[in-house]
């Protein structure tokens, strides 16, 4: 598959997904709230690819709740469509994990939606972690996104 649109950054991940019947609303388009799930699905797939999935983070003694999410809808997806979720890791110095997202329609490569998310680290007492955890600094070094 060749989706000409340039990836939005260096550390990126793209994956196709099928629109599910249960995701389509009474306007016959994918319900807007489902895009938040598409973002998360893409983020998890990114995490598996790059060794920073929820389970990887959990096994290091942290959780990574979402503290901000946004989505801008340009076009729509409907029954029978295949979408492409593109996840871009956005480096930041603070103890946060930032992603940007783009969703494309596979058939015509149209940009359907853009979005972003911010996550923070909580430790095992559910306290906010103010400094980047060592394992995360290691991860950034490994992928040259310091």
Alpha-carbon span 109 to 81, nearest angstrom: 11
Helices (H) and strands (E) in the chain, counts: 3, 5
Residue 20 binds a second copy (CB under 8 A):
yes
Q: Which listed range, 2-10, 69-77, 86-94, 98-106, lies at the site for a second copy (CB under 8 A)?
A: 69-77
Is residue 65 within 8 A of residue 122, CB to CB? The reply is: yes
Alpha-carbon span 122 to 80, nearest angstrom: 39
| Residues between 73 and 92 that touch a second copy (CB under 8 A) | 73, 76, 79-80
Residue 22 binds a second copy (CB under 8 A):
yes
Residue choice 1, 4, 26, 108 for contact with a second copy (CB under 8 A): 26
State the CB neighbour count (10 A cutoff) for residue 10.
11
Residue choice 70, 92, 94, 107 for contact with a second copy (CB under 8 A): 70
Residue choice 8, 9, 49, 54 for contact with a second copy (CB under 8 A): 54
Alpha-carbon span 45 to 5, nearest angstrom: 20
Binding site for a second copy (CB under 8 A): 18, 20-22, 24-29, 31-33, 36-37, 40-41, 44, 53-55, 63, 65-73, 76, 79-80
């Amino acid at each position: 598959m060749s989706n000409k649109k340039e990836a939005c950054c260096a550390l990126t991940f793209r994956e196709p997904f099928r629109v599910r019947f249960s995701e389509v609303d009474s306007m016959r388009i994918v319900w807007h709230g489902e895009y938040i799930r598409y973002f998360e699905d893409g983020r998890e797939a990114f995490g598996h690819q790059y060794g920073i999935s929820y389970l990887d983070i959990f096994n290091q003694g942290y959780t990574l709740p979402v503290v901000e999410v946004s989505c801008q809808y340009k076009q729509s997806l409907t029954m029978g469509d295949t979408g492409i979720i593109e996840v871009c890791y956005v480096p930041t110095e603070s103890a946060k994990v930032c992603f940007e997202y783009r969703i494309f329609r596979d058939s015509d490569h149209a940009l359907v939606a853009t979005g972003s998310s911010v996550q923070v680290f909580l430790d095992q007492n559910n306290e906010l972690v103010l400094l980047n955890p060592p394992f995360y600094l290691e991860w950034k070094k490994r992928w040259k996104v310091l």
